[in-house]
Chain A
Amino acid sequence: MSAGMSAAAEVPAKPRWALRAGIFALLLAGLYVTGLGVQAGLIEYVQRILLIAGINVILAVGLNLINGTTGQFSIGHAGFMAVGAYTAAFVGVHLAPHVSAALGAGALADGITFNLGLLVGAALAGVAGFFVGLPSLRLKGDYLAIVTLGFGEIIRILFNNAEFLGSATGYFGDSAAGLPTYTNFFWVFFWVIAVICLIRNVTFSQTGRSLVAIREDEIAAEAMATPTTRLKVLAFALSAATAGIAGGLFAHMQAGIRPEDFKFDKSIDMIVMIIVGGLGSISGAALGGIFVAVSLELMRDLQQYRLVLYALLLIVIMLVRPEGLLGQRELHFGWLKRARRKGGA
């Protein structure tokens, strides 16, 4: 925390916005070029792993806001992801003809349709998160965890029975080709950066400090006039919205989505990501997301052993290093600076 604040103080106050806009534009351009390079240079298999890693990072960083920063426990996050995925897919399928009619078919129309779908999905997932967060008015800790689990299951069962979304067979859009595959390197990492910035700014704001206060001692936080319920609900809604974005990216990565893509296992995957990385650390969560994506691929041939190993990993980490690899520390550029300073002096 203190390192982050002192780093912010070093930047001169005035041209900050210009500097930021410049950095942002450069970043986008760099991302776009990298995306082109990735699409041209890497085989599809590696590209897919990169996309999954990006989606995992979004999921992990978002979930970490609840489980790490606020100290609540969501074990039904796959439900929010499902809401985002189905919404984005549905919007994508139904909006695409209108947008292409207005703007002409092409990358621009696709991008607009895609991102509108993602935003609507995020909004609906956020609303779902709001409603799941509401019981936190009366429930704490593990009870709340069970409610999230229950909600996650209910959402999945609803999709399983929603005929206009393909029921248990899954949603493949209306055409034989399946869902449009909008998801590519540029958009995934655009959203990765957006989500990380959002969560980072929330975490290091006053709101974020209040969330940490709730984690450390809810009663004390309440005594200091922290609106604990409102903040917990906010954390849930925000975190659910980011899971919704991840869901939308996931949906448009393949021909279709099925309710069973969002089973309890998926929520467990997300928990593994943040536990491996460290509860309460944004960079840790991101690393955890990448770890899960890569390890999943490496263990593809050992599919049936994967969850056994994950389970053992969870238990062993909890027994040996319950705070995760990074704990609540962050990887940031301050470390590099300090290392250089130490080397120079």
Chain B
Amino acid sequence: MSEFFQQIINGLSLGSIYALIALGYTMVYGILKLINFAHGEVFMVGAYSGYYIATALGVDGYEASGAGFPLGLALLVLVLAMAASALLGVTIEALAYRPVRSAPRLTPLITAIGVSLFLQNAAMLVFTPNPRRYPAILRELRFELGGVIITNIKLAIFVVALLLMVGLKLFVQRTWTGRAMRALSLNIDAARLMGIDVNRTIRATFAVGSALAAAGGILFGLDQITINPLMGVLTGLKAFVAAVLGGIGNIPGAVVGGLLIGLAEQLTAGYLSPDYRDAITFVILVVILVLKPEGLLGVVRQEKV
């Protein structure tokens, strides 16, 4: 039984990382109807930014001296990496998506694949393809609770993810920009007529989504210990599946989908075979798309002529 709870804990912490990334997919899809393939790479760049910022702030020295990295500096790493990724997201939008926004829908999809490939391979050149050990931004502490091992890192992942999601909820519901985002997702043209600056709002969407992905990247690095330039491919796909599972365009759906995918993956790895942990996500994807394409929490939208 304790093994089962262990898998649940691991699944939930992995799932909350997926959820953070899925939010970016779902927000962009909700507004532009674009699968932002480059989002997984934004997540990867976020993780690497965290790596370099933490190194610049002297995390190695703290680690060597045995003293933990100060919490304030850890938060600074998080905030700076989120800012760097937000900048990257906005740049991608401006260079690769805005020029083709009014083109047929497959055109931006192909540029998105192009951007994703470009970032992956540029990262292999810049960061080298070798995996890197993630700096110990948090020193690991273990607790045991009835045979289940919980680390402070897993707890931190929950807490950070939860805080960010609550923050996003408040942002989307309470701020002017958030309201503009919701208006755009309903009807871009009507929103424009109501005086909403469409470009600015889309830029904000990319910034927020990318920042959340960067937070996911740092948490992923802490959780999985190593990072590499291709980490965004599979993780990004899984997060996208999470967004589809929850109902794409739906913010609570992305969170639910992320947690479910994380759980499914851990339980498959634990009870079936670790070989199939990646396959299960795609099986879920195909099943959900065939049975309920609008997702668990999504709304059916009738296609109009």
Binding site for B on A (CB under 8 A): 71, 73, 75, 134-135, 138-139, 141-143, 145-147, 149-151, 153-154, 157-158, 160-161, 219-220, 264, 268, 271, 275, 304-305, 307-308, 310-315, 318-319, 322
Contact = CB atoms under 8 A, between A and B. Distances in A.
B170 interface: no
Given A264-B233, A308-B118, A322-B107, 15 more contacts: A73-B106, A135-B289, A141-B106, A143-B244, A143-B293, A146-B289, A150-B285, A151-B282, A153-B282, A157-B279, A161-B276, A268-B113, A271-B110, A315-B118, A322-B103
B286 A153 contact: no
A333 B104 CA distance: 31
B121 interface: yes
B109 interface: yes
Contacts of A219: 303, 305
B117 interface: yes
Nearest to A265: B117
B279 A142 contact: no
Interface of B: 33-35, 96, 99-100, 103-111, 113-118, 120-122, 124-125, 233, 237, 240-241, 244, 275-276, 278-279, 282-283, 285-286, 289-290, 293, 303, 305
A139 B113 contact: no
A275 B106 CA distance: 11
A137 B244 CA distance: 17
Contact of A147 (B105, B240, B286): B286
A147 B282 CA distance: 8
Contacts of A268: 113, 117
6 contacts: A73-B106, A142-B34, A147-B286, A150-B286, A157-B275, A319-B111
A141 B105 contact: yes
Contacts of B293: 138-139, 143
Contacts of B241: 150
A312 B114 contact: yes
A307 B116 CA distance: 11
Contact of A149 (B117, B237, B290): B237
Nearest to B281: A150
Contacts of A135: 286, 289-290
A220 B305 CA distance: 8
A154 B106 CA distance: 24
Contacts of A310: 117
A134 B286 CA distance: 11
B289 A312 contact: no
Nearest to A313: B114
Contacts of B275: 157, 160-161
